[in-house]
Structure 1
Amino acid sequence: MSPARGPFRCLVVDDEPIAHRIIDDYCRALPHLQPVRHAFDAMQAMGMLAEESFDLLLLDLNMPRLGGFDFLRSVQLSCPVIVTTAHAEHALEGFELHVCDYLLKPVSFERFVKAVNRALPPVAPAACEAAPAPGAAGDALPRSLFIKGDRKHHQLALADIRYVEACGNYCVVRANDGSIITPQSLSGMERSLPAEQFLRVHKSYLVAIARIRSVSATSLQVGDDTVPIGPSYRKQVFARLQIDGANG
């Protein structure tokens, strides 16, 4: 499947206002999702679907007048469906209706991202531009990086980045002031970050060498977080850190 450009249009159907606020915040954090439309019951959703097209439907089950599964049986949809509910017992019925994923409330952001990755086509990675410090020589190491996320380019000091974690089609950049979700791939981030300062330690993790506090045989302590060392990366990690792997 070739990468898509987006932005994708999303419709949330839920009778709880707080659920709309949470999903809206999650969608706004992903640069390829447009701000969502909101329906507070199935009948309102039917009206919107008759007038507009959407790329993704986020659907609650327990709603007045017409429940989520009854709604799915009564309409013909051309977009994928992610169910959001507090009730785990209906999961099998949901997959029989070909929903893409089944999210249990409260939904974490990481779980939401995985569900969106499963439902939508992969996104073409955005460019990630390294910016050298003002006045630095052309071949000097960059001190900051512009990272696209939340429809902006955020400039991060390299010294503030602790590690980068792959999350489906996206990366989560963990920094001192919080996290940024970017459509850049982990391999793309690895190419953008200076190899002298960052080390790939796992298929899903890239860490700042200066932020490593301790090393065990299978993991690193990076700040307050534990990052796994992938078995296929262990030899190169220990060699790069000049640690005797046999005694790790």
Structure 2
Amino acid sequence: MIRYLIIDDEPIAHDIIKGYCDLVPNMQLIKNCYDALEAFEFLNTNEVDLIFLDLNMPILKGFDFLKTLQNLPKVIVTTAYQEFALEGYEYTISDYLLKPFGFERFLKAINKAFSSVNQKVMPSENSIISNRIFVQGNKKHFQVELENILYIEATGNYTKIITTIETITIREKISVFLEQLPKNDFMQVHKSFAIAIKHIKSVEGNRIKISDFTIPIGKLYKMNVNGLLNSKL
């Protein structure tokens, strides 16, 4: 379960974020805070996994609030002011949601915060969440287990996600989708293909065998594959 806190001085922002979170499995609202001082007092005696943080609040601004925290959870900034983004790199912000934001953009922020293997490991009860990703295709939202993804194929402005269970087509370029995946687990091997390293069955010439599928290796990506093979020797 991902336990989250909303810090925003606008009640409508709380309603929007909670509404989106209610559509995502395993998200639990711990508290609504309408200023940073209220959140500071709460976090002195409680822990959360994720904070949705507005920046432009009365009394204590968002980034000034972050300076007061010793153990910083994951933070997704929700702001109407794009110019604050650069300052946030000092605080290891997971993502920025520029108001107004839609559900699809919201899902990307959640994925970015919890799907990367380079991020802080979640508590054991939440660890399974860090191995899942949410995607939108055919007017539905799907939750996909990362370990089930065999490979990814670009088809114009769309991307096919081929898993051990099904094939899902999303309206997103392969380069954008790859940014959401753990770089140690997935590798682009062709301008139109990226593969899950753990599912490689064999490599022969310019082809990779994954399950019953044959994936081509592009000339520009051959070095990446060779590097992977040499690292396993």
TM norm structure 2: 0.57
- What do the CA deviations read for 1:38-95 (whole angstroms, capped 9, x no partner)? 1111111112212221001110011111111111112223311111100011111111
Q: Is the contact between residue 62 and residue 68 of structure 1 (CA under 8 Å) also seen in structure 2?
A: yes
- Secondary structure of the structure 2 residue equivalent to 1:96: helix
- Do residues 172 (structure 1) and 132 (structure 2) align? no
In the alignment, the residues of structure 2 paired with residue 171 and residue 114 of structure 1 have an alpha-carbon distance, to the nearest angstrom, of 8
Against the structure 1 CA distance between its residues 179 and 119, is the aligned structure 2 distance closer, same or farther, given a 3 Å change threshold? Answer: same
Q: Secondary structure at the match of 1:12?
A: strand
Which of the residues 173, 178, 202 maps onto 2:154? 202
| 1:57–1:82 Cα contact (<8 Å) kept | yes
- CA shift at 1:169, angstroms? 3.9
**Which has the larger Rg?**
1
Secondary structure of the corresponding residue to residue 2 of structure 2? coil
* Root-mean-square deviation over aligned CA pairs: 3.5
* In 2, Cα distance between equivalents of 1:27 and 1:36: 12
Match of 1:188 among 140, 148, 151: 148
Relative distance call for 1:181 and 1:48 in structure 2 (3 A) is farther
2:212: which partner in 1? none
Distance in 1 separating the partners of 2:40 and 2:134: 35
Q: What letter corresponds to residue 188 of structure 1 in structure 2? A: N
Match of 1:117 in 2: 111
Give the Cα separation in 2 of the matches to 1:181 and 1:124: 16
Q: How does 1:1-248 map to 2 (within 5 A)?
A: 7-121=1-115, 124=128, 169-172=132-135, 174-175=137-138, 178-185=139-146, 188=148, 201-202=153-154, 204-206=159-161, 232=192
Contact kept? 1:28, 1:35, Cα under 8 Å: no
Q: Secondary structure at the match of 1:38?
A: strand
Contact 2:115/2:132, CA 8 A, preserved across alignment: no
Deviations 1:150-176 (A, max 9, x none): xxxxxxxxxxxxxxxxxx94243534x
Helix, strand or coil: the match of 1:51? coil
Amino acid at match of 1:205: K
Q: Distance in 1 between matches of 2:91 and 2:136?
A: 36
Structure 2 spans left out of the alignment, 5+ residues: 117-126, 163-168, 175-189, 194-233
**Identity between Structure 1 and Structure 2 (%):** 40
Deviations 1:121-169, CA, capped at 9 Å, x for gaps: 56637xxxxxxxxxxxxxxxxxxxxxxxxxxxxxxxxxxxxxxxxxx94
Q: Contact 1:101 / 1:115 at 8 angstroms: preserved in 2?
A: yes
Structure 1 residues without counterparts, runs of 5 or longer: 1-6, 126-167, 191-199, 208-221, 234-248
Structure 2 vs 1, CA of residues 81 and 113 (structure 1 numbering), >3 Å: closer, same or farther?
same
Given the superposition, is the C-alpha separation of residues 170 and 95 from structure 1 closer, same or farther in structure 2, using an over 3 Å criterion? same
Tell me the amino acid that sits aligned with residue 82 of structure 1.
Answer: I
